């Protein structure tokens, strides 16, 4: 990204940081001196901001480079079983060692995954580009071997034996005691023909559905003819506010997930992504501004890996910091305090 583009993007930061619901039923916002604004404000309903793709890709590429450098150093320093892919920004693919550990996971997490049949099946997802991307051309490498895998990161957090036992984590996510992680959940989005789209959402935790992202470039695209199949599309979205270019719709995964939650009124939906990916956060904001029902918008949430790492068990937080660079800082506490103030203000303003 050119310096002039980066400066323009940063100057427009106040527009992108729309206040949205947090996974703990708090409002996510960055503390600022400007008056607090919400998705219900008319100015956001009229806005049709678009981020040029030339300004989107550098964030994903930058994070891929950082994770590549960090994991290469980490694997070599710790003598971990791994292989490096070919290309300008190589990914690190780990493998199970002789002791039965897998360096892409904490040992206690990996053991728990192996002991849980519906979790262990996720380990068998084949890495589709391993044959051409690795010097070994090993077709037996798996998707969750990769240092760039958002699924591996998600399982590292929510399969750890202590994560959901901590009341602080459950309160942070707005979860009840006893919830269990379900990966690859199929909510069944209603179609106009009476059938259902059974595409997976990454995880279900109690009433919370989660779509996790790390180094993926976007939330996928789809032809308009695929989008218009959904029964509730026009009831849920202001169609004019969706990004459609030459018959191709942006953020298809988000549209589909919002429609799933609309059909399941007792569920919430959360995007879980990296703070270093403002492009993904912006894409999620743009989808939320197109949502018409107020009560549905209140069930759409955002959480960053950094915030989650800050409340995770200590061994897990250290692992996430070393391997992924996910370290909470003083901004997280300031953000949480601002969230609570914003939530209380919203309750007073809109009690119903």
**pLDDT score for 18:** 37
Q: How far apart are CA 208 and CA 192, in angstroms?
A: 25
How many CA atoms within 13 Å lie on the side-chain side of 175?
Answer: 26
Q: What is the dihedral of CA 170, 176, 178, 183, to 10 degrees?
A: -70
Beta-bridge mates of residue 204? 182, 209
Backbone angles phi, psi at 163, to 5 degrees: -55, -55
- The helix (run of H) or strand (run of E) holding residue 248 is strand 248-249
* Token digits of residue 211: 């779509």
Sequence-ordered list of residues with C-beta below 8 angstroms from that of 244, at least 6 positions apart, any chain: 224, 250
- Please classify residue 80 by burial: count the beta carbons closer than 10 Å to its beta carbon, then call 0-12 exposed, 13-18 middle and 19+ buried: middle
Q: How far apart are CA 233 and CA 182, in angstroms?
A: 27
According to the per-residue pLDDT averaged within each range, which of 46-60, 129-143, 225-239 is highest? 225-239
Backbone angles phi, psi at 305, to 5 degrees: -60, -35
* Token digits of residue 247: 């018959």
Tens-digit pLDDT profile for residues 295-335 = 999 999 999 999 999 999 999 999 999 999 998 655 554 44
Neighbouring C-beta atoms of residue 352, cutoff 10 Å: 5
Domain boundaries of the chain, sorted by first residue: 38-340
pLDDT beyond 60 at 339:
no
pLDDT beyond 60 at 257:
yes
Task: Indicate the pTM of the whole model.
Answer: 0.77
Q: How far apart are CA 154 and CA 185, in angstroms?
A: 14
Tens-digit pLDDT profile for residues 170-195 = 999 999 988 999 999 999 999 999 99
């Amino acid at each position: 990204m050119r310096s002039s583009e980066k400066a323009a993007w940063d100057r427009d930061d106040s527009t992108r940081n729309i206040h949205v619901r947090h996974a703990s039923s708090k409002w996510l916002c960055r503390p600022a001196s400007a008056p607090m604004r919400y998705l219900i404000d008319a100015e956001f309903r009229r806005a049709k901001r678009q981020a040029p793709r030339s300004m989107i890709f550098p964030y994903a590429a930058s994070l891929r480079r950082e994770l590549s450098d960090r994991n290469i150093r980490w694997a070599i320093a710790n003598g971990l079983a791994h292989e490096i892919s070919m290309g300008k920004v190589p990914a690190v693919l780990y493998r199970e060692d002789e002791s039965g550990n897998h360096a892409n996971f904490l040992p206690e997490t990996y053991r728990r995954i192996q002991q849980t049949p519906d979790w262990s099946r996720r380990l068998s997802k084949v890495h589709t580009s391993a044959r051409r991307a690795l010097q070994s051309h090993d077709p037996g490498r798996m998707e969750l071997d990769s240092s760039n895998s958002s699924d591996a990161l998600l399982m590292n957090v929510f399969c750890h034996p202590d994560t959901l036992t901590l009341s602080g984590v459950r309160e942070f996510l707005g979860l009840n005691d006893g919830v269990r992680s379900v990966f690859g959940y199929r909510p069944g989005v209603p179609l106009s023909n009476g059938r259902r789209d059974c595409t997976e959402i990454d995880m279900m935790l109690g009433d919370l559905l989660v779509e996790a992202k790390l180094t993926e470039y976007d939330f996928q695209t789809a032809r308009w003819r695929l989008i218009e199949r959904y029964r509730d599309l026009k009831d849920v979205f202001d169609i004019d506010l969706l990004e459609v270019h030459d018959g191709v719709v942006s953020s298809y995964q988000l549209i589909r997930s919002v429609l799933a939650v609309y059909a399941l009124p007792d569920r919430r939906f959360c995007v879980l992504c990296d703070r270093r990916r403002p492009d993904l956060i912006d894409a999620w904001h743009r989808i939320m501004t197109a949502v018409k029902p107020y009560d549905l918008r209140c069930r759409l949430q955002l959480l960053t890996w950094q915030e989650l790492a800050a409340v995770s068990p200590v061994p897990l937080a250290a692992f996430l910091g070393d391997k992924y660079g996910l370290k909470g800082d003083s901004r997280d506490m300031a953000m949480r305090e601002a969230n609570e103030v914003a939530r209380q203000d919203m309750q007073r303003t809109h009690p119903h």
